[in-house]
Structure 1
Amino acid sequence: MDLEKTLLRKVGEAVTKFKMIREGDRVAVGVSGGKDSVTLLEALLLLQRRAPISFKVCAFTIEQGKFLAPIRPYGEWLLSRGVEWHHFEDPPSLRLLEDEPDHGCDLCSRFRRRAVYEVCKDLGVNVIALGHTADDFCESFLRNALFTGALSSLPPVTYSKNKDFRLIRPLVYVPESLTTEFARGLGCPVIPCGCSQKTGTVRRSVRDFLAEMEQDHPRLKDSLLSALGNIKPQRLLDSRYLDPDQDDEELEPAGASPFRIFTES
């Protein structure tokens, strides 16, 4: 399999389908030292050279005190390849780690989001690219369904509260197995985050559950991802979308496929 070709096809599909990047955009990629974000950065740099529109790409890293090794070698690797990289420490996050070492993911996420918006405002960008993969979308869907009672997942495109930034997730169709292989081929130093080592969390439980299920059903995540784009609201229990007078046969268009699997070509 040609990893670069497959990656660009999947990212290109997402960018085009959801209108993620537009003429004149200034895109900042949040890189954490991991395989997903560096794959996203490389994909957008490749698309930048091939796309019919003009847009700029830079990278930034926010230090929250959770990297298990110095991030500098990662940044130096980016700079050596001509990538515009910015590194910021976030004092409130560092104090949070000292004052509340056992704080949860939600609190950390709120601190990170605030820091990201502050950093990107200073960088003068209008688009923030995040490295969530197809796996993250599937896991988020299951977490919400099982633990919050809502059918929802990560949005491929959304906006910050004040509409200052468009937030995009171009790896929505890219499985983590692909980012792992692609990042390995780049030869970049991978800097792990302490959060990735945590066990006993809901996030870890859902990930382990999917991994176990995939041993018998290897295309499970493909089906889940397809389901996120094939919603049938009148087959659910939300009364806002139900028409009690509608015939059951009208709910299924003739010849409609129950789901669409994204396959490798």
Structure 2
Amino acid sequence: MNYQNDYSRIYRLIEKIIAKKIGKAIFDYKMIENGDRILVAVSGGKDSITLLKDLVSRMKSFPIQYEIEAVHIETDFCTCCKKTKLEDIFKETGVPYHIYPVAVMGRLKPGKTMNCYWCSNQRRLELMKLAEERKCNKIALGHHLDDIAETLLMNMMFKGEMGGMLPVVKYNKFPCTIIRPLAYVREEEIINYAGKMDILSIVCTCPFGKKSKRKEIREIIRTISKTNPNIQENILKSMHNVDMDYLLGKKQVIESTSDTSN
């Protein structure tokens, strides 16, 4: 038995599955258009590196012409990134890249504590600025299907909001659009692919992620998935199939909470 051939065959199959799902998301949401300049945000983790490699590879045969630049946002609380290996990956792809230091902790006001929401907003703001500086009209983020499902539930359970992480987001204040080409890809698929590519993680683990609300939601989804393996896909579908007749609007909420006749 030739284990090397089996290994290569499995790797190619996983790569093909991921590429097909990325292609479908790009097509369904019209993520990439002719002449786009895309800034790919690369944390150094499995998701963003998988995304970068696919978008670079896709340029060779994609019928639409686009350009790519990569950027790594280096925060002041997570600086043990293996920069050499990350830069090697950037050089391997052949795209222009930037390593951009951002003092996220240094921006906290006295008495405030670090949290994922604050950090994400600060990094996103810097990405917007860099995209404008580099004349990139799109920013590609490595959020996958699991991230999208978790975010919707997090907003419902912890913020009391019906809102999620959209595959495409256009901003009025900035001349760029956020795209998430991994929107149909399961985290498990990326883990299998990244493990065979030896890119599971090049950066240090976020010290604030261990106690995050996202981790709690992830465990809930994992438990439910034991009886329904399509949970993530169904949550994404629900974001398209909104029946407003069966959702409380602002006026209805005010009327129901102010009714004390009973």
TM-score, normalization by structure 1? 0.81
Deviation of 1:238 after TM superposition, in Å, equals 2.7
Give aligned pairs, total.
240
- 8 A Cα contact 1:139 1:203, kept in partner: yes
1:229 aligns with 2:240: yes
Counterpart residue number, 1:79: 91
8 A Cα contact 1:93 1:111, kept in partner: yes
Give 1:30 shift.
0.1
| SS class of match (1:195) | coil
1:42 alignment partner, one of 30, 53, 61: 53
Structure 2: runs of 5+ lacking an equivalent: 1-9, 253-262
Which residue, out of 20, 29, 39, partners 1:9? 20
Percent identity (aligned): 29
- CA change 1:67–1:216 in 2 (3 A) is farther
Matched, 1:21 2:32: yes
Q: Which moved more, 1:37-46 or 1:212-221?
A: 212-221
| Structure-2 separation of matches of 1:240 and 1:10 | 40
In the alignment, is the contact (CA less than 8 A) between 2:45 and 2:203 conserved in 1?
A: yes
SS in 2 for 1:111: helix
Q: CA deviation at 1:69?
A: 3.4
Matches within 5 A, 1:95-244: 95-96=106-107, 102-188=113-199, 190-195=201-206, 198-238=209-249
**1:223 match: secondary structure:** helix
RMSD (Å) for aligned C-alpha atoms: 2.5
Superposed CA deviations along residues 73-113 of structure 1, whole A, max 9, x for unmatched, are 212232134232211112x3252479779412222122212
Q: Which runs of 5+ in 1 are unaligned?
A: 242-265
Structure 1 pair 45–110 and aligned structure 2 pair: CA distance change class (3 A): same
Displacement, 1:230? 2.2
Q: Which of 44, 60, 63 matches 2:74?
A: 63
CA distance in 2 between counterparts of 1:209 and 1:67 reads 31
